[in-house]
């Protein structure tokens, strides 16, 4: 990669974007994945139009009903409509996950690029600290942060950033290291440009593909982690409609009303399958080694 003589980026940027879009369109896997995610986003946004039930209204006289015309997916132990809770549940899952992923990948990208660009003691110290953070189980870190600061969505977003930034930094640093020795970066340094300017104008445009794949993959992990946290009772507070929480609530009644547990499971699984397909398709279309990213 060191002898890669790419023309100045001001000329390349639009071409790159167009090419990226072309390869994206040709990848069926990526398109199917993105379509699934898009459907989830639309459902979450339009939830109030799709169901007339209130997802948190108790109705003791209609508790634990099986599927029927008035309740397509039945009701749970408090008589709440399961379908309504599943439809609204996407709001919490998507809202928190997207915010957390944007923050994690953004912070990780900046730190990873900076580590690759600056090198030296900054790189060493950062690497050591991140390694130390990685050595403590993610769920333990999350639980400690959440018990200390409360279970608000903002706290969960911050906690997830703490847990996943180290892995993003590793991936982005690896990708950026391949770009740093390029002639145009040396030229920009010789012109006396600052770290931030080089990072934004020279490095970032060349690792956009890696960052995009990382985003899709990380989002799938974040969704899973947040749902696990809710399942354990440290995430969304009852009666918030959330898929992980719904499984925890309805698990004991799984033989009576299986749909109350299955519906949120299906919603959760399809969202993550969509994100995984998008990550797979993007990495194949853009030639990013996703397996290397798994680490």
Partner 1 sequence: MFSFIARRTAAGLGTLLLSSVLVFLAVQALPGDVATQVLGKDATPDAVSALRGQLGLDQPAWERYVDWIRGALHGDFGTSLVSAKPVGGEVAMYLGNSALIALITVLFAVTGSIVLGVIAGLYRDRWPDHVISTAGLVGMSIPEFVVATVLVLCFSVALPWFPAVVLYGPEASVGQLLPAVWLPALALAIVMAAYIVRMARTSVIDVMASEYVTTARLKGLSTWRVVTRHALPSALLPTLHVIALNVAWLAGGVAVVENVFNYPGIGKLMLSSVQNRDLPVIQAIALISAVVYVACNLAADLGAMALNPRLRTRGRTR
**Measured between alpha carbons, how far is residue 90 from residues 38, 101, 150, 246 in Å?**
12, 16, 22, 12
Please say whether the beta carbons of 218 and 170 come within 8 A: no
158 binds partner 1 (CB under 8 A): no
Of the candidate residues 141, 200, 205, 253, the single one contacting partner 1 (CB under 8 A): 141
* C-beta closer to partner 1: residue 132 or 197: 132
Give me 99's structure tokens: 């915010």
Of the candidate residues 164, 184, 215, 231, the single one contacting partner 1 (CB under 8 A): 231
Which range in 115-123, 178-186, 198-206, 221-229 contacts partner 1 by CB under 8 A? 221-229
Based on DSSP, count helices (H) and strands (E) in the chain, helices before strands. 12, 0
* C-beta closer to partner 1: residue 198 or 247: 247
Tokens 């991140």 sit on residue? 130
Which range in 46-54, 69-77, 105-113, 227-235 contacts partner 1 by CB under 8 A? 227-235
How far apart are CB 92 and partner 1 at their closest, in Å? 15
121 binds partner 1 (CB under 8 A): no
Cα gap 240→233, rounded to integer Å: 12
How far apart are CB 29 and partner 1 at their closest, in Å? 10
DSSP annotation of 181: T
At CA 88, angle to CA 87 and CA 94, rounded to 5? 100
Please say whether the beta carbons of 235 and 226 come within 8 A: yes
265 binds partner 1 (CB under 8 A): yes
Please say whether the beta carbons of 9 and 183 come within 8 A: no
The CB density around residue 2, as the number of other CB atoms within 10 Å, is 9
Please report, as residue ranges, which positions from 73 to 112 form the binding site for partner 1 (by CB under 8 A): none
Of the candidate residues 139, 158, 177, 178, the single one contacting partner 1 (CB under 8 A): 139
Please say whether the beta carbons of 290 and 213 come within 8 A: yes
Of the candidate residues 52, 135, 191, 192, the single one contacting partner 1 (CB under 8 A): 135
232 binds partner 1 (CB under 8 A): yes
Interface residues with partner 1 (CB under 8 A)? 128-129, 131-141, 143-144, 147-149, 220, 224, 227-228, 231-232, 244, 247-248, 251, 254-255, 258, 261, 265, 268-269, 272-273, 275-277, 280, 291, 294-295
């Amino acid at each position: 990669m060191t002898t890669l003589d790419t023309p100045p980026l001001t000329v390349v940027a639009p071409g790159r974007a167009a090419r990226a879009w072309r390869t994206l369109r040709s990848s069926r896997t990526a398109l199917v994945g993105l379509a699934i995610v898009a459907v989830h986003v639309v459902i979450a946004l339009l939830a109030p139009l799709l169901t007339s039930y209130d997802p948190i209204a108790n109705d003791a006289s209609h508790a634990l009903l099986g599927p029927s015309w008035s309740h397509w997916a039945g009701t749970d132990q408090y008589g709440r409509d399961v379908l309504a809770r599943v439809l609204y549940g996407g709001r919490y899952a998507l809202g928190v996950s997207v915010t957390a992923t944007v923050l994690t990948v953004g912070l990780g990208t900046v730190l990873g690029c900076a580590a690759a660009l600056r090198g030296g003691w900054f790189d060493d110290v950062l690497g050591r600290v991140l390694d130390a953070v990685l050595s403590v189980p993610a769920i333990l870190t999350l639980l400690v942060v959440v018990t200390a600061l409360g279970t608000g969505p903002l706290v969960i977003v911050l906690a997830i950033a703490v847990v996943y930034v180290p892995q993003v930094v590793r991936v982005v640093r690896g990708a950026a290291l391949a770009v740093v020795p390029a002639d145009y970066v040396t030229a920009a340094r010789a012109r006396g440009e600052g770290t931030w300017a080089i990072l934004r104008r020279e490095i970032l445009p060349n690792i956009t593909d890696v960052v995009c794949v990382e985003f899709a993959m990380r989002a799938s992990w974040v969704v899973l982690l947040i749902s696990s946290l809710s399942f354990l009772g440290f995430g969304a507070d009852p009666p918030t409609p959330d898929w992980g929480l719904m499984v925890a609530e309805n698990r004991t009644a799984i033989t009576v009303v299986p749909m109350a547990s299955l519906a949120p499971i299906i919603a959760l699984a399809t969202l993550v399958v969509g994100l995984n397909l998008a990550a797979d398709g993007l990495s194949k279309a853009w030639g990013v080694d996703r397996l290397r990213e798994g680490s």
